[in-house]
């Protein structure tokens, strides 16, 4: 039931504040993250982990790429993010102090399932982040942290993605607590940031009309580029994926720092480029670098659409369009910046008369190789 929305995707995008709130529910007690599902390992076992390998496909892998920044920053454990289908055919080195963290909305993605089985056989501990109760991947894992985003019907993943990041951040904060890598004050502060996200996503959704207008102007685009840096990089990749799968437009995401190493050659007059800009307050060291990237592409005629924090005045002179997101600590910006990119892909596909719930050639759950 679409509940009055024009598509399941529109409904699910709008449900994102609740999806995150439901994932957090019951896992934060007196401002402290406690994940009961991890209790059986004992804090000592979690404290002994020397390395984390995240395995997933598609959008779920981008959630993993975002989480890498948070886990390394908070829990000080090295994290590798791998596509399940590359991981399982690569003879990866796994030891019994390696934790394999799988991420899957459906819990049935064949390559991720096989990667989990491979990891278990190699002696690693496997924890899954999953949205579907009782699915195969959680059954094959040592433990599961469910995202409680509710059923996701549209083929393109949206609310499951933000719920995955929320669950991964809960995991990271739990790990940081048992490993003693963040002070109590820091733990409380980051947890409060996480709790504020549902409301900030709701505020971000209010940009819907502006994004629809932009999308309507851009239906003839032949290629769209997305740039991001730090946690904005996987968001650029996710923005590009959404546009490919929904609107069938060639789209690429790049790390903004790579621009000079090749991608800037693509810039010609009129080329649309979305840029996810880090906060000038929270990321004072990165913000000017991204602004300078914007100047470089603008000088070559790019049509620049900027996703920037409310009040970021430095981007205004160089942007053709600015989409604002609420203030948040740097690691939390992806949960907000992704929303306009989801809306853009959905609105552009809609403007082209395409079925946003059932894009061509795609299945919701990829249970074959």
Residues marked as catalytic: 364
Largest Cα–Cα distance of the chain, in whole Å?
58
Binding to ligand F6R (CB under 6 A): which residues in 282-311?
none
147 sits near ligand F6R (criterion: CB under 6 A): no
141 sits near ligand F6R (criterion: CB under 6 A): no
**Can you say how many angstroms the Cα of residue 366 is from the centroid of all Cα atoms in its chain?**
19
DSSP state of 146: E
Q: How far is the CB of 283 from ligand F6R (least distance, A)?
A: 27
Closer CB to ligand F6R, 102 or 279, in the complex: 102
Cβ-Cβ contacts under 8 Å for 296 (sequence gap 6 or more):
259, 260, 264
365 sits near ligand F6R (criterion: CB under 6 A): yes
Sign, CA torsion 18/22/25/27: negative
Q: How far is the CB of 108 from ligand F6R (least distance, A)?
A: 7
Binding segment (CB under 6 A) for ligand F6R, from list 28-36, 99-107, 202-210, 327-335? 99-107
Position among 28, 45, 143, 366 found at the interface with ligand F6R (CB under 6 A)? 366
Binding mask 45-84 for ligand F6R (x = CB under 6 A): ------------xxxx------------------------
109 sits near ligand F6R (criterion: CB under 6 A): yes
Q: How far is the CB of 307 from ligand F6R (least distance, A)?
A: 19
- Do 30 and 78 contact (CB within 8 A), yes or no? no
Q: How far is the CB of 113 from ligand F6R (least distance, A)?
A: 9
SS percent in the chain: helix, strand, coil, step 5: 50, 15, 35
156 sits near ligand F6R (criterion: CB under 6 A): yes
Closer CB to ligand F6R, 354 or 366, in the complex: 366
Residue 226 has φ and ψ, to the nearest 5°, of: -130, 130
Using Cβ positions, the residue closest to ligand F6R within the complex turns out to be: 58
Instruction: Work out the end-to-end distance of the chain between its first and last CA atoms, rounded to an integer number of angstroms.
Output: 31
Q: How far is the CB of 115 from ligand F6R (least distance, A)?
A: 11
Other beta carbons within 10 angstroms of residue 235's beta carbon come to: 29
23 sits near ligand F6R (criterion: CB under 6 A): no
Segment holding 33, helix H or strand E: strand 32-33
Q: How far is the CB of 130 from ligand F6R (least distance, A)?
A: 8
Closer CB to ligand F6R, 23 or 105, in the complex: 105
Reference 96, options 62, 51, 140; nearest CA is 51
Distance CA 208, CA 221 (A): 20
Size of the site for ligand F6R (CB under 6 A): 15
112 sits near ligand F6R (criterion: CB under 6 A): yes
Closer CB to ligand F6R, 154 or 297, in the complex: 154
Cβ-Cβ contacts under 8 Å for 267 (sequence gap 6 or more):
225, 273, 297, 300, 301, 302
Segment holding 224, helix H or strand E: strand 223-228
Q: How far is the CB of 2 from ligand F6R (least distance, A)?
A: 18
331 sits near ligand F6R (criterion: CB under 6 A): no
Position among 98, 157, 207, 342 found at the interface with ligand F6R (CB under 6 A)? 157
Position among 14, 16, 65, 106 found at the interface with ligand F6R (CB under 6 A)? 106
The torsion region of residue 205 among left (phi > 0), alpha (psi -120 to 50) and beta comes to: alpha
Other beta carbons within 10 angstroms of residue 86's beta carbon come to: 13
Binding segment (CB under 6 A) for ligand F6R, from list 103-111, 188-196, 288-296, 308-316? 103-111
**Can you say how many angstroms the Cα of residue 337 is from the centroid of all Cα atoms in its chain?**
9
3-state secondary structure of 119: helix
Summarize as ranges the residues that interact with ligand F6R (CB under 6 A): 57-60, 104-106, 109, 112, 156-157, 241, 245, 365-366
């Amino acid at each position: 039931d679409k509940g009055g929305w024009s598509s399941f995707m529109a409904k699910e995008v709008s449900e994102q504040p609740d999806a995150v709130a439901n994932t957090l529910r019951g896992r934060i007690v007196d401002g402290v993250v406690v994940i009961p599902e991890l209790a059986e390992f004992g804090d000592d076992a979690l404290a002994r982990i020397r390395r984390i390998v995240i395995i997933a496909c598609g959008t779920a892998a981008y959630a993993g790429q975002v989480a890498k920044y948070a886990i390394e920053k908070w829990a000080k454990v090295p994290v590798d993010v791998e596509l399940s289908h590359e991981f399982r055919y690569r003879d990866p080195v796994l030891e019994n102090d390696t934790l394999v963290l799988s991420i899957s909305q459906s819990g049935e993605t064949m390559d991720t399932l096989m990667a989990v089985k491979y990891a278990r056989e190699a002696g690693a501990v496997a924890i899954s982040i999953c949205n579907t109760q009782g699915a195969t991947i959680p059954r094959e894992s040592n433990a599961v942290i469910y995202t409680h985003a509710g059923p996701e019907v549209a083929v393109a993943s949206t609310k499951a993605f933000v719920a995955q990041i929320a669950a991964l951040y809960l995991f990271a904060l739990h790990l940081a607590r048992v490993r003693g890598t963040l002070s109590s004050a820091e733990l409380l502060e980051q947890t409060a940031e996480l709790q504020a996200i549902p409301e900030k996503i709701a505020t971000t959704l209010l940009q819907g009309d502006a994004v629809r207008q932009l999308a309507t102007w851009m239906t003839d685009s032949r290629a769209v580029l997305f740039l991001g840096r730090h946690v904005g990089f996987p968001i650029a990749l996710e923005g590009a994926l959404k546009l490919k799968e929904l609107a069938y437009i060639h789209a690429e995401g790049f790390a903004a720092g790579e621009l000079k190493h090749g991608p800037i050659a693509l810039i010609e007059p009129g080329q649309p480029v979305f840029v996810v800009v880090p906060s000038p307050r929270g990321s004072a060291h990165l913000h000017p670098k991204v602004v300078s990237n914007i100047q470089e592409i603008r000088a070559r005629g790019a049509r620049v659409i900027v996703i920037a924090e409310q009040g970021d005045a430095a981007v205004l002179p160089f942007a053709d369009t600015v989409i604002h997101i609420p203030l948040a600590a740097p690691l939390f910006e992806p949960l907000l910046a992704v929303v306009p990119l989801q809306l853009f892909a959905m609105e552009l596909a809609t403007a082209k008369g395409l079925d946003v719930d059932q894009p061509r050639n795609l299945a919701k759950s990829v249970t074959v190789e």
